[in-house]
């Protein structure tokens, strides 16, 4: 069974009808019915197809695992309508057009986010001029400086540092060892351990004795429902603000430079680097290790493949790959051409011909 009790607090068991509802289904509907009639079966929790037992729920979102679905012993499985016919007899099919989303919601039903435990740990340092909601939790060795505002039901992890004047909205989670300065956070923001929010941006001017630091006078503005992964860094703006739009998900080890504007519901995967003053519009997806040069615009719903190097503006709704990044079809054509050239006998002989020094 998934969810080791040493690390994860479980709820339940829950009746199958509650599991169906959590998955976004409705009995007998195209988007979420129950086969087999066992609506009152009590479900103990979620588990993988291969390991699930008769009182557990699993899911299928990839046809490659059809053999595992056909052989599963799970009591219920969340599946797409096209896959419902493959669910074994005696297993309840929870049918939804988005099985993975349904699985996420069912897993959250059994393993909800732990609530804050109100109070300030005795070893924490809270400036008298700070405002900490009485329903917030402040962990050991945390530091909250003057003028900071901590909203209701927030959890401030061990050793976290909340700088002077920082405002944190309700239901936020600040991980152990994270530091936040020069920033305003909305509601339900999660900052994972070791992240650095609001530190000085990388700005300098060259003088006769070398680089001279330019004061960074902006803030970091993070809207509601944003997640920032472990050890990621978001620099504050120089004269403008760095902005992260609502619902955006930022993975671990991401660097976001000063004045960057990121829109709503973007997905930014690990080790991405975004240089200063770039604009990332709504619903953009950036694969792992993508690098984006400064002062560029990545259009709405664009998708940039892993390790791409973006050196120019990207139109909305396109998929770009490679370094330098280009439209996916162009890159694939170039790769195919290079392979044909490499395989052609004349290309091989030309490559082996010594270069004249005349």
Smallest CA-to-CA distance from 231 within 199, 196, 197, 207 is with 196
Any long-range contacts for 7-11 (C-beta under 8 Å, 24+ apart)?
8/111, 9/111, 9/112, 9/114, 10/45, 10/110, 10/111, 11/109, 11/110, 11/111, 11/112
8 Å CB contact between 105 and 84: no
User: Has 258 been annotated as catalytic?
Assistant: yes
Angle, in degrees to the nearest 10, between helices 345-352 and 328-343: 70
Catalytic: which of 121, 258, 295, 344?
258
Which of helix, strand or coil describes residue 84? Answer: helix
Integer Cα distance of 315 and 50 in angstroms = 43
8 Å CB contact between 269 and 292: no
Q: H/E element holding 106? A: helix 99-110
Q: What residues act catalytically? A: 258
């Amino acid at each position: 069974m998934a969810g080791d009790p040493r690390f994860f607090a479980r709820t339940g068991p829950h009746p199958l009808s509650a599991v169906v509802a959590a998955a976004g289904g409705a009995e007998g509907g195209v988007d979420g019915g129950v086969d087999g009639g066992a609506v009152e079966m009590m479900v103990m929790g979620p588990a993988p197809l291969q390991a699930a037992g008769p009182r557990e729920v699993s899911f299928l979102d990839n046809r490659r695992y059809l053999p595992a679905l056909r052989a599963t012993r799970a009591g219920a499985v969340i599946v797409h309508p096209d896959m419902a016919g493959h669910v074994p007899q005696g297993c309840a099919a929870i049918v939804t057009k988005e099985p993975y989303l349904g699985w996420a919601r069912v897993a959250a039903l059994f393993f909800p986010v732990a609530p804050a435990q109100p109070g300030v740990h005795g070893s924490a340092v809270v400036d008298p001029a700070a405002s900490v909601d009485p329903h917030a939790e402040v962990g050991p060795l945390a530091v909250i400086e003057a003028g900071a505002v901590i909203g209701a039901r927030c959890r401030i992890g061990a050793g976290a540092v909340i700088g002077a004047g920082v405002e944190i909205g309700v239901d936020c989670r600040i991980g152990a060892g994270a530091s936040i300065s020069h920033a305003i956070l909305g509601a339900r923001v999660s900052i994972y351990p070791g992240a650095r929010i609001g530190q000085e941006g990388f700005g300098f001017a060259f003088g006769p004795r070398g680089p001279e630091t330019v004061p960074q006078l902006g803030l970091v503005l993070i809207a509601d429902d944003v997640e920032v992964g472990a050890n990621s860094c978001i620099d504050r703006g120089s004269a403008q603000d760095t902005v992260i739009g609502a619902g955006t998900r930022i993975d671990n080890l991401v660097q976001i430079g000063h004045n960057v504007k990121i829109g709503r519901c973007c997905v930014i995967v690990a080790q991405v680097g975004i240089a200063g003053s770039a604009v990332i519009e709504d619903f953009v997806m950036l694969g792992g290790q993508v690098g984006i040069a400064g002062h560029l615009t990545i259009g709405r719903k664009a998708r940039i493949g892993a390790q791409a190097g973006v050196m120019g503006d990207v139109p909305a709704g396109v998929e770009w790959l490679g370094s330098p990044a280009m439209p996916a079809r162009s890159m694939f054509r170039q790769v195919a051409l290079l392979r044909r050239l490499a395989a052609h006998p004349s290309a091989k002989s030309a490559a082996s011909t010594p270069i004249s020094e005349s």
